[in-house]
A and B are shown apart, each in its own frame.
Chain A
Amino acid sequence: MDMKEFKLNYYEKLYLARHFEDELMKLFADNKVVGWIHSNKGHEVIGVSLALAMKSHDYIVPHHRDRPAYLAKGLSAKSLLAEIMGKTTGCCGGIGGELHIMDVETRIYGPTGVLGSNLPIALGIAYANKLAGNDHVVVCNFGEGGSNRGSFHEVLNMAALWSLPIVFVCENNKFVEFTPMQKHMNIEDVARRASGYDIEGIIADAFNPMETYETFKYAIEKARRGDGPTLVEAKTYRLDGHYEGDPMKYRDEEEKKYWLERDPIIGFKASLLNESIANESELESLEASVHQVLKEAVEFALKSEPLKVSDTFKNVYA
């Protein structure tokens, strides 16, 4: 893949992730979604960079703001949207919903409604891969809030001790639900916690697509070589509330304005044009094809059958 192809592919995935959220919010406002939704806006660069830096046999054990990674890793917009809407055509048959997207084919495992509980699961997948002697890498995502869980510390310690093929990705969006992170921790950089386990901690600017991609690529290939885990802190900013409908009384509007002006999706598009990687019409047609994919996904999810109540009594035991 040459650089032009790579960057266009990158932009397409960013654009898809952002506009998937827009479609989801419209459906939510129309009362077509079951449960809550947690906006992924501001997290797109992280998910897209990870998916592009991973191989198809690598695993992701994500948190609740990783829809950009699911889509970029190959889960179809149809399957993802249908699942969030509780439809039988969703990747988990409509029983999982927004917080529990799992997919064996694209190797998405273990997201949970209990934040930070996915870290031990990721550790186990990495351990099993090490036992099997393959070169599969596990990526595990969580927020800065999740890094305050005991599970984070237990897992980083064991992953470091056993040099497991795993990359820890802290998506620091500066808010822990309704609370700015500085009210929960003395440190500003979660990456510093890596030194407590004698592993490498790296900070990436998650509003800078290429920097973030290169950082993940480095950490993933390091894990694949057998050189152990890395803690990457991807600094971002949650552009929306904790969940859709959050009035965000705790947010400083000036701060939001600062970040919005740096919106990486707008910035990345401008760089493609400025560096003559693509022209307006190429990008317009790429964007139109994304909107077509989303339109088809919405139609598909709307007309799909909701999970039957009788089916919710199944699958308690294998």
Chain B
Amino acid sequence: MTKINFRWAITHALDEELARDDKVFLVGQDVGESGGVFGLTRGLYEKYGGWRVKDTPISEEGITGLAVGAGMIGHRPVVEIMYMDFISLAIEQLANQAAKTFYVSGGKIKVPMVVRTLAGGGFKAGIHHSQSLESWFTHIPGLKVVYPSTPYDVKGLLKSSIRDDNPVVFIEHKGLFSLKGEVPDEEYTIPLGKADIKREGSDVTIISYGKSVHQSLEAAEALAEEGICAEVIDLRTLVPLDKETILKSVEKTNRAMVVYEATKESGFGAEVSSIISEELIYDLDAPVRRIAGAFTPIPLGDAEDAHFPTVEEIIKVAKEMCY
């Protein structure tokens, strides 16, 4: 095991997959010679050359469609959409083309491709550099959606996503880039569709993903001191969703909350909450709660903090549910 930060775990995953399979290539704005706006592809251009690590113009739809076409004939392209806020421009290719090709070809043409995109707040950069837009994609049959929270998970899940035969939207929270964690020295992958119980507990289940997992864990630590034993589930993959792990946990705790940074309304927490209500409503000791982003654009500067979930809020709601 070696301790590395989240951003190097991404770089290592890309490097290993580029080395393993010559069908893998990267495209995106500034992914080449400059190594990317956050340095995530640093060194790869020199190692694999300008055709496998391709700098592109500002053409989000064009490069996402490029991946669809290359994927259709057996390549494994990885696109970087620099900020998830820009992914609106790529939705046509993702939702109408990539997601539906296998279906509409009668199961004859696969589209293996990954769109990596940098989401979330923390840089306090305002409306167009801070959003978490996963629920735009969890609504589309045919797409897989991955949102990891640790260096170990991001590396293993990115490698699996590149090897998957379906289009995957892979979301990397910018606020996690300097987070350090243990990563095995040997080769490993993590299957898509498996949640991870990051902390075991018996009183309340906190279901989360991305950066919010760490706030949930911090809240669980504080709650333990007050005698509330919270279980924290990191979904890791939103589609396919590991319902089994969620339901098994809530059957045990009889209380559930969903914590996520995206806008609360019509966000992924609504889906999780509905599944729990549909399956376990008579087992619940309290209504399922959602702690998530405000229904506003994300403001510039420190005001951002007031629009995202906080550890204090998680603690407060958990107490309300348990007492």
Contact between chains at A121 and B72 (CB < 8 Å): yes
Which of A104, A112, A124 is close to B70, meaning CB atoms less than 8 Å apart? A124
A-facing residues in B55-80 (Cβ within 8 Å): 56-57, 59, 61-75, 77
| Residues on the A chain within 8 Å of B64, using CB | 120
Contact between chains at B105 and A158 (CB < 8 Å): no
**Does B136 sit within 8 A of A, measured CB to CB?**
no
Q: Give the size range of A's interface with the partner.
A: 35 or more
| Residues on the A chain within 8 Å of B107, using CB | 93, 314-315, 318
A-facing residues in B83-141 (Cβ within 8 Å): 92-93, 96-97, 101-112, 141
**Cα–Cα, bound, A318→B165 (Å):** 6
Q: Closest CB of chain B to A201's CB: distance in Å? A: 19
Supposing A124-B71, A131-B52, A316-B142 touch, asked if A95 and B106 sit within 8 A by C-beta, the answer is yes
| Residues on the B chain within 8 Å of A150, using CB | 61
| Residues on the B chain within 8 Å of A155, using CB | 59, 62, 65
Q: Closest CB of chain A to B237's CB: distance in Å? A: 13
Contact between chains at A124 and B57 (CB < 8 Å): no
Contact between chains at B105 and A125 (CB < 8 Å): no
Q: Closest CB of chain B to A85's CB: distance in Å? A: 14
Contact with B along A205-221 (1 / 0, CB 8 A): 00000000000000000
Q: Closest CB of chain A to B105's CB: distance in Å? A: 5
Contact with B along A67-106 (1 / 0, CB 8 A): 0000000000000000000000011111110001010100
**Does B147 sit within 8 A of A, measured CB to CB?**
no
Supposing A131-B51, A131-B75 touch, asked if A92 and B61 sit within 8 A by C-beta, the answer is no
Contact between chains at B104 and A102 (CB < 8 Å): yes
Which of B52, B77, B109, B165 is close to A109, meaning CB atoms less than 8 Å apart? B109
**Does B166 sit within 8 A of A, measured CB to CB?**
yes
Contact between chains at B165 and A120 (CB < 8 Å): no
**Does B260 sit within 8 A of A, measured CB to CB?**
no
| Residues on the B chain within 8 Å of A158, using CB | 56-57, 59, 62-63, 66
**Cα–Cα, bound, A154→B109 (Å):** 25
**Does B25 sit within 8 A of A, measured CB to CB?**
yes
Contact between chains at A127 and B70 (CB < 8 Å): yes
Contact between chains at B61 and A109 (CB < 8 Å): no
Q: Closest CB of chain A to B317's CB: distance in Å? A: 35
Contact between chains at B72 and A92 (CB < 8 Å): no
Which of A117, A126, A317 is close to B142, meaning CB atoms less than 8 Å apart? A317
Q: Closest CB of chain A to B299's CB: distance in Å? A: 29
Which of A96, A124, A154 is close to B106, meaning CB atoms less than 8 Å apart? A96
Contact between chains at B65 and A121 (CB < 8 Å): yes
Contact between chains at B73 and A109 (CB < 8 Å): yes
**Cα–Cα, bound, A1→B302 (Å):** 74
Supposing A92-B104, A92-B108, A94-B106 touch, asked if A154 and B59 sit within 8 A by C-beta, the answer is yes
**Does A50 sit within 8 A of B, measured CB to CB?**
no
**Does A187 sit within 8 A of B, measured CB to CB?**
no
Contact with A along B157-186 (1 / 0, CB 8 A): 000000001100000000000000000000
Q: Closest CB of chain A to B103's CB: distance in Å? A: 5
Contact between chains at A61 and B56 (CB < 8 Å): no
| Residues on the A chain within 8 Å of B75, using CB | 128, 131
Contact between chains at B165 and A114 (CB < 8 Å): no
Contact between chains at B69 and A127 (CB < 8 Å): yes
Which of B62, B69, B144 is close to A125, meaning CB atoms less than 8 Å apart? B69
**Cα–Cα, bound, A96→B109 (Å):** 12
Contact between chains at A122 and B69 (CB < 8 Å): yes
Supposing A109-B72, A125-B69 touch, asked if A315 and B109 sit within 8 A by C-beta, the answer is no
Contact between chains at A124 and B108 (CB < 8 Å): no
| Residues on the B chain within 8 Å of A100, using CB | 104-105
Contact between chains at A104 and B97 (CB < 8 Å): no
The chain B residue sitting closest to A107, CB to CB, is B73
**Does A110 sit within 8 A of B, measured CB to CB?**
yes
Q: Closest CB of chain B to A199's CB: distance in Å? A: 15
The chain A residue sitting closest to B69, CB to CB, is A124
Contact between chains at B93 and A117 (CB < 8 Å): yes
Contact between chains at B62 and A154 (CB < 8 Å): yes
**Does A7 sit within 8 A of B, measured CB to CB?**
no
Which of B67, B96, B141 is close to A124, meaning CB atoms less than 8 Å apart? B67
**Does A151 sit within 8 A of B, measured CB to CB?**
yes
**Cα–Cα, bound, A128→B108 (Å):** 19
| Residues on the A chain within 8 Å of B97, using CB | 110, 112, 114, 117, 121
Interface centre among B70, B106, B107, by most chain A C-beta atoms within 10 angstroms, is B106
Interface centre among A93, A110, A154, by most chain B C-beta atoms within 10 angstroms, is A154
| Residues on the B chain within 8 Å of A104, using CB | 108-109
The chain B residue sitting closest to A92, CB to CB, is B106
Contact between chains at A123 and B62 (CB < 8 Å): yes
Q: Would you give 10 A-B contacts (Cβ < 8 Å), ordered by A?
A: A102-B104, A109-B72, A117-B93, A121-B72, A131-B25, A131-B52, A131-B75, A158-B59, A161-B57, A316-B142
Q: Which 4 pairs, one residue from A and one from B, show the smallest C-beta to C-beta distance?
A: A120-B65, A124-B69, A93-B106, A154-B62
Other 17 A-B pairs with CB < 8 A, given A119-B65, A315-B103? A91-B106, A92-B104, A93-B108, A109-B69, A110-B68, A112-B97, A117-B92, A120-B64, A121-B93, A121-B97, A123-B69, A126-B69, A130-B51, A131-B70, A158-B63, A315-B107, A318-B166
* Chain A residues close to B by CB (< 8 Å): 59, 61, 90-96, 100, 102, 104, 109-110, 112-114, 117, 119-131, 150-151, 154-155, 157-158, 161, 314-318
